[in-house]
């Protein structure tokens, strides 16, 4: 009786307050309702989800019996409980004004959540026109009700109670699907709201994105709204975010929602998901969908739950767009008169995600005798798409094959369904279809994909090749290209992938395959161009994955990066890549190209279950291909000696007992098939907690040997593999002294691979729990990133062998310093070619100087022909010089010399200090040792004024030749007659090491020479020779001192050379 009175009172209040608003502020039959996220300090996800779940409950019943079946619309709002929670009956004027501006609705439903073993939701319904609280109510929710009350989904019980209390009808009366012209065609998919289950949310988003793209009823707008948050997971889409969407995207509506995860004892037992489609212009919620998944008994079935949950939501969203679909296939519906035409119509519905209409069409097709197999196969596909009906779907496909053994599509559908579940029987089904008709292509694609996923790329290549020979499909070409890259079969990339890419310029997904192939064969310019074309064609969200360097930074560097503004971040990124370039002399950054390759690989190899990738992708981008990789289900190869050493070291530090078998899998203990029994035993047996450090109590350290096969968590060896979780084990021998990173997929495939967790039940074979914390993959990886943020090994290069170089700087133009980089290569190390002319070698030299902070890089590249005398190959060498003007300072110098005919390279990299000659004072340049001085000019690059100066990069002088060198003197003072007078002193002193001393003093030189010179220019070129009759054999030091006799100043330089008799 009390409940009836309460119900009537609520109806009276709603009628009294809602009808006037409907009459004055809205069309007569409509009013606007906003439901804000509930304030829930104990579980924030619960408050957001329950507000969405109640909104969905009301949205499905858009007519209110208490208001004469007046319709309402839901409006998106981001207002939180805040001060409203302190108000009993009437809002303050300031708060009312704030809400009226912030919430474009007539009424606002809000609330707060308390938790005392069960959830208590305190609700308030506010008339925003008057500021009056027109209704309050308390609703209880116990997550255990999902289990104890059969056929109830997450949040259903409290949502139904709120709906009933507010006077909404029990019968669903959803808003009719709009006509095609009123549908939002461009949708932005915004990340789902959750705080703790980001991988699970990412998996749901990926399922949703795939469903939308597959059905084709809506066009997905790339990117996501960021607002002021990095993660972009908002509880509500605020007006500011809608403004951002309007100004920066083409989206007409935003699809988002909230995720709630529940379970016993920290397990993930139930998931609830509510989606909202919000109109960008008005904030009106156009559509809502809700679905839940419940794990019954198997721990590894979470992937199936997510698939079924998202399948239902995808079907509901397709039904919302059914008007557009009906318009698209109206002609097919008019032609449906027999079994085949009804089957065609069913497949058309199925392609658009309209499973209900597809099922009805296939049912009608079965009435006719002309296409029973097509109709049965279609029904099987509907069942498979819905999720949770796998066995029924397979039976329907087998029935189709029995009814018509020549209907080959049924074979292909069945093979795909079985292989998607990892059931190898699908291979035989596909092969049977090929035997029946070798020109039927779908089974080739099915088998190619299966073998590619199984990393049997040789077989995958064979099936893809047959497919492409008959149908040059760019998607198949992409899959084949991936396999060919794994096989390092670059020739077939040119044969099969490149032609399709040229014929289909829109197939941008083929560009990375060709770019990576070019990178691996060292065609860096081509690789750069292809990657740039690819990055220019992908959406902004995807492009960000390639541009983001945070995946390569240490924690400290990330903090520095985040503190920068956008302009400074761009400069930081540019300097970062310059510093990482393994060959500064090249305009193409091999390290950055390798980063693009790693990101692309992580997206397709490790990003199928997570966006953008799971934990393996993170490690792969940072450190590249591991030196050893093993995974469950593989026939593991034996590791190399170095890999085994790294694994053995970790094993000895973790476990008491010595290893008695090859360590082919995870060294860190992972879940074994005794895990469930041990977890149940743990409830009655006191097992030490993992947070207890030091030796584990109750364990005998010396007398007994543990049995790995009896552990709840244990390593994987060749003799003992009782693992029950999918795993991968990676070893990097050169990262941080050698690391082992073990991954597991604990949620049964729903969220990809993550670092193997610390076992809740420590194995008895452990030395102590401190060790397990040290070697936990997540902790070991984090420590490695601090010591070595990334790893890159250049591909081996063919060497030029002996390679000499020297460096000298002189005064340059415009206040800069000219750096002369000289090199010499023995002729016997080069390939001499003759094309009807004099024998010659062709060299390409490239020099680069980057300032100490990598803010700017100066480069110079030239290709030079050198005519040579082949009659004296043994003693002859090719000498050349390259120059670059730079400001004075500290530089990272790189020189690369390439024999163009053989691709052999000589590489030089060192840090240098470049002198400043810009000040108006006496200066002397570096001393450049030379092979010959001549007043006959032959090569312009060796010209110094009127002299031909050929450098001596070997820095050796063989007796009885004199020591020849060249230098320049700047800023000599002039006397009253305009003349300069200066003294040049040269000295040679034996030196054991090339340790520079302060120039200007020479202790007892073996050779000394001094002369005075008069001139009329303030700078002079000094080509000089010093005879070495009295010099000692071996390392010697040359000093040159310049004294300006007019100004009374002096300056000196020195250098080293080798004297040989």
On the question of pLDDT at 710 being above 60, the answer is no
As a whole number, mean pLDDT of residues 879-883 equals 93
Residue with more model confidence, 919 or 981: 981
Residue 378 lies in a domain: no
Residue of 340, 339, 341, 359 lying closest to 349 (CA atoms): 359
Residue 910, beta-bridge partner list: 893
On the question of pLDDT at 27 being above 70, the answer is no
Residue with more model confidence, 302 or 505: 505
Residue 6 lies in a domain: yes
Q: What CATH number is associated with residue 247? A: 3.40.50.10610
pLDDT score at 21: 37
pLDDT score at 59: 87
Residue 662 lies in a domain: yes
**pLDDT tens for residues 198-225?**
878 888 888 898 888 888 888 888 778 8
Number of domains, the chain: 6
Of the three residues 851, 885, 918, the one that is the final residue of a domain is: 918
**Whether residue 743 sits in one domain with residue 710:** yes
On the question of pLDDT at 548 being above 90, the answer is yes
Confidence of residue 702 (pLDDT cuts 50, 70, 90): very low
**pLDDT tens for residues 549-603?**
999 998 888 999 999 998 999 999 999 999 999 988 888 999 999 999 999 999 9
**Whether residue 930 sits in one domain with residue 824:** no
Confidence of residue 269 (pLDDT cuts 50, 70, 90): low
Among 181-195, 699-713, 858-872, 1037-1051, which is the least confidently predicted range? 699-713
Residue 368 lies in a domain: no
**Whether residue 640 sits in one domain with residue 691:** yes
Confidence of residue 267 (pLDDT cuts 50, 70, 90): low
Percent of the chain with pLDDT over 90: 52
Of the three residues 253, 270, 298, the one that is the final residue of a domain is: 298
pLDDT score at 17: 41
As a whole number, mean pLDDT of residues 627-652 equals 88
Residue 1049, beta-bridge partner list: 1044
**Whether residue 604 sits in one domain with residue 704:** no
Residue 952 CA: distances (Å) to CA of 222, 287, 579, 942, 1021? 60, 80, 31, 12, 18
Residue 924 contacts residue 1042 (beta carbons within 8 Å): yes
On the question of pLDDT at 11 being above 50, the answer is no
In this structure, what token pair is assigned to residue 977? 């007659």
The enclosing H or E element of 414 equals helix 408-420
Percent of the chain with pLDDT over 70: 86
Rounded Cα distance between 545 and 540, Å, is 9
**Whether residue 908 sits in one domain with residue 932:** no
In this structure, what token pair is assigned to residue 530? 């292809």
Residue with more model confidence, 379 or 168: 379
Residue 306 lies in a domain: no
On the question of pLDDT at 301 being above 90, the answer is no
Task: State the DSSP code for 496.
Answer: I
Residue 974 lies in a domain: yes
On the question of pLDDT at 784 being above 50, the answer is yes
**pLDDT tens for residues 415-456?**
999 998 889 999 999 999 999 999 999 999 999 999 999 889
Residue 226 lies in a domain: yes
On the question of pLDDT at 707 being above 60, the answer is no
Q: What is the CA radius of gyration of the chain?
A: 38
Of the three residues 787, 810, 833, the one that is the final residue of a domain is: 787
Most confident range (mean pLDDT) of 314-328, 856-870, 992-1006 is 856-870
pLDDT score at 233: 85
**Whether residue 887 sits in one domain with residue 828:** yes
Residue 1040, beta-bridge partner list: 986, 1053
**Whether residue 963 sits in one domain with residue 888:** no
On the question of pLDDT at 819 being above 90, the answer is yes
pLDDT score at 677: 41
pLDDT score at 249: 84
Residue 979 lies in a domain: yes
- 3 state SS of 765: coil
Q: What is the dihedral sign for C-alpha 241, 244, 249, 251?
A: positive
Q: What CATH number is associated with residue 415? A: 1.25.40.10
**Whether residue 678 sits in one domain with residue 613:** no
pLDDT score at 261: 86
Among 350-354, 531-535, 682-686, which is the least confidently predicted range? 682-686
Q: What CATH number is associated with residue 868? A: 2.60.40.2550
**Whether residue 812 sits in one domain with residue 914:** yes
**pLDDT tens for residues 503-519?**
999 999 999 999 999 99
Residue 286 belongs to domain spanning: 180-298
**pLDDT tens for residues 367-421?**
999 889 999 999 999 999 887 788 999 999 999 999 999 999 999 999 999 998 8
**Whether residue 131 sits in one domain with residue 17:** yes
Among 125-134, 659-668, 816-825, 999-1008, which is the least confidently predicted range? 999-1008
Rounded Cα distance between 796 and 865, Å, is 26
Confidence of residue 797 (pLDDT cuts 50, 70, 90): confident
**Whether residue 682 sits in one domain with residue 822:** no
Q: What is the mean pLDDT of the chain?
A: 85
pLDDT score at 463: 97
What dihedral do alpha carbons 485, 486, 492, 497 form, nearest 10°?
-50
pLDDT score at 894: 93
pLDDT score at 931: 92
Confidence of residue 15 (pLDDT cuts 50, 70, 90): very low
DSSP string for residues in 711-733: -SEE---SS---B-S-EEEEEES
Residue 609 contacts residue 601 (beta carbons within 8 Å): no
Contacts of 300 (CB under 8 A, 6+ apart): 724, 725, 748, 749
**Whether residue 1034 sits in one domain with residue 942:** yes
Confidence of residue 132 (pLDDT cuts 50, 70, 90): confident
pTM: 0.76
Strand pairing category for 1020-1026 and 963-970: antiparallel
């Amino acid at each position: 009786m009390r409940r009836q009175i309460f119900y009537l009172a609520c109806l009276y209040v709603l009628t009294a307050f809602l009808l006037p608003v409907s009459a004055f502020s809205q069309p007569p039959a409509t009013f606007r309702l906003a439901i804000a996220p509930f304030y829930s300090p104990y579980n924030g996800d619960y408050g957001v989800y329950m507000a969405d779940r109640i909104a969905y409950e009301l949205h499905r019943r858009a007519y209110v019996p208490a208001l004469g079946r007046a319709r309402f619309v839901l409006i998106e709002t981001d207002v939180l409980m805040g001060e409203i929670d302190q108000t009993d009956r009437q809002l303050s004027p300031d708060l009312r004004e704030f809400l009226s501006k912030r919430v474009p609705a007539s009424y606002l439903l809000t609330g707060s959540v308390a938790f005392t073993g069960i959830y208590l939701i305190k609700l308030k319904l506010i008339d925003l026109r008057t500021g009056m609280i027109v209704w309050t109510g308390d609703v209880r929710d116990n997550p255990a009700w999902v289990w104890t009350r059969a056929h109830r989904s997450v949040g259903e019980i409290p949502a139904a109670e709120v709906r009933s209390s507010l006077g909404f009808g029990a019968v669903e009366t959803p808003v009719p699907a709009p006509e095609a012209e009123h549908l939002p065609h461009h949708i932005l998919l915004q990340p789902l709201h959750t705080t703790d289950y980001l991988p699970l949310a990412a998996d749901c988003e990926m399922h949703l994105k795939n469903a939308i793209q597959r059905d084709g009823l809506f066009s997905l707008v790339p990117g996501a709204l960021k607002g002021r948050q990095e993660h972009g997971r908002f509880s509500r889409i605020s007006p500011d975010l809608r403004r951002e969407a309007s100004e920066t995207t083409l989206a007409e509506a935003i699809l988002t929602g909230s995720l709630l995860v529940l379970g016993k004892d920290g397990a993930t037992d139930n998931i609830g998901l509510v989606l909202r489609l919000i109109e960008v212009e008005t904030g009106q919620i156009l559509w809502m969908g809700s679905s839940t998944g419940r794990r019954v008994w198997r721990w590894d079935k979470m992937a199936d739950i997510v698939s079924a949950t998202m399948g239902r939501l995808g079907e509901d969203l397709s039904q919302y767009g059914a008007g557009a679909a009906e318009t698209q296939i109206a002609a097919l519906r008019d032609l449906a008169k027999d079994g085949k035409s009804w089957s065609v119509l069913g497949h058309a519905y199925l392609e658009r995600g309209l499973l209900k209409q597809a099922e009805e069409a296939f049912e009608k097709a079965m009435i006719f005798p002309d296409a029973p197999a097509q109709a049965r196969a279609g029904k099987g596909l509907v069942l498979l798409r819905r999720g949770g009906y796998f066995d029924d779907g397979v039976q329907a496909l087998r029935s189709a094959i029995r009814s018509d053994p020549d209907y080959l599509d049924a074979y292909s559908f069945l093979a795909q369904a079985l292989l998607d579940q990892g059931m190898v029987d699908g291979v035989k089904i596909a092969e049977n279809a090929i035997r029946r008709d070798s020109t039927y292509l779908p089974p080739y694609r099915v088998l190619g994909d299966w073998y590619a996923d199984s990393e049997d790329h040789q077989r995958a290549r064979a099936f893809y090749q047959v497919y492409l020979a008959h149908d040059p499909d760019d998607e198949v070409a992409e899959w084949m290209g991936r396999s060919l890259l794994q096989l390092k079969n670059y020739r077939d990339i040119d044969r099969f992938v490149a032609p399709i890419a040229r014929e289909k310029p829109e197939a941008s997904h083929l560009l990375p395959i060709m770019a990576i192939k070019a990178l691996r064969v060292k065609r860096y310019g081509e690789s750069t161009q292809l990657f740039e074309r690819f990055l220019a064609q992908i959406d902004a969200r995807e492009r960000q994955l390639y541009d983001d360097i945070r995946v390569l930074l240490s924690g400290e560097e990330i903090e520095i990066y985040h503190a920068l503004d956008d302009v400074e971040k761009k400069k930081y990124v540019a300097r970062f890549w310059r510093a990482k370039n393994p060959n500064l002399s090249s305009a193409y950054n091999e390290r950055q190209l390798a980063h693009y390759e790693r990101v692309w690989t992580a997206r397709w190899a490790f990003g199928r279950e997570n966006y953008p990738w799971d934990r393996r992708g993170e490690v792969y981008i940072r450190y590249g291909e591991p030196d050893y990789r093993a995974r469950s289900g593989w026939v593991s190869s034996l590791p190399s000696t170095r890999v085994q050493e790294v694994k053995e070291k970790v094993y000895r530090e973790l476990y008491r007992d010595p290893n008695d078998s090859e360590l082919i899998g995870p060294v860190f203990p992972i879940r074994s098939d005794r895990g469930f029994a041990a977890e149940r035993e743990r409830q009655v047996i006191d097992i030490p907690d993992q947070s207890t450090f030091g030796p584990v109590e109750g364990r005998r350290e010396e007398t007994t040997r543990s049995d790995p096969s009896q552990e709840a968590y244990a390593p994987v060896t060749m003799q003992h593999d009782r693992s029950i979780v999918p795993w991968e084990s990676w070893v990097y021998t050169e990262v941080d002294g050698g690391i082992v990173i073990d991954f597991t997929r604990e949620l049964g495939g729903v969220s990809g691979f993550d670092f193997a967790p610390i076992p809740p039940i420590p194995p008895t074979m452990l030395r102590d729990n401190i060790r397990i914390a040290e070697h936990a993959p997540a902790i070991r990886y984090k420590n490695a990133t601090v010591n070595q943020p990334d790893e890159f090994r250049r591909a081996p290069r063919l060497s030029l062998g002996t390679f000499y170089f020297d460096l000298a700087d002189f005064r340059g133009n415009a206040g800069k310093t000219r750096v002369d980089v000289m090199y010499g290569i023995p002729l016997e190390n080069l390939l001499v070619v003759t094309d009807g002319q004099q024998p010659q070698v062709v060299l390409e030299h490239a020099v680069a100087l980057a300032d100490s902070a990598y803010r700017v890089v100066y480069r110079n590249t030239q290709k030079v022909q050198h005519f040579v005398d082949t009659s004296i190959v043994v003693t002859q060498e090719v000498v050349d010089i390259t120059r670059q003007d730079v400001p004075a300072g500290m530089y990272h110098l790189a020189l690369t010399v390439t024999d163009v005919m053989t691709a052999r390279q000589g590489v030089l990299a060192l840090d240098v200090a470049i002198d400043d000659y810009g000040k108006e004072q006496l200066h002397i340049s570096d001393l450049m040792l030379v092979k010959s001085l001549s007043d006959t000019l032959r090569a312009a690059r060796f010209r110094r004024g009127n002299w031909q100066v050929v450098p001596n990069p070997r820095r050796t002088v063989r007796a009885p030749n004199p020591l020849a060198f060249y230098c320049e003197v700047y800023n000599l003072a002039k006397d009253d007659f305009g003349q300069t007078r200066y003294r040049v002193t040269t000295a040679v002193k034996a030196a054991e090491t090339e340790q520079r001393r302060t120039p200007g003093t020479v202790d007892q030189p073996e050779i000394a020479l001094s002369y005075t010179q008069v001139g009329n220019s303030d700078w002079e070129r000094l080509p000089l020779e010093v005879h070495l009759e009295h010099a000692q054999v071996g390392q010697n030091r040359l000093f040159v001192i310049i004294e300006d006799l007019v100004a009374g100043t002096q300056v000196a330089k020195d250098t080293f050379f080798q004297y040989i008799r």
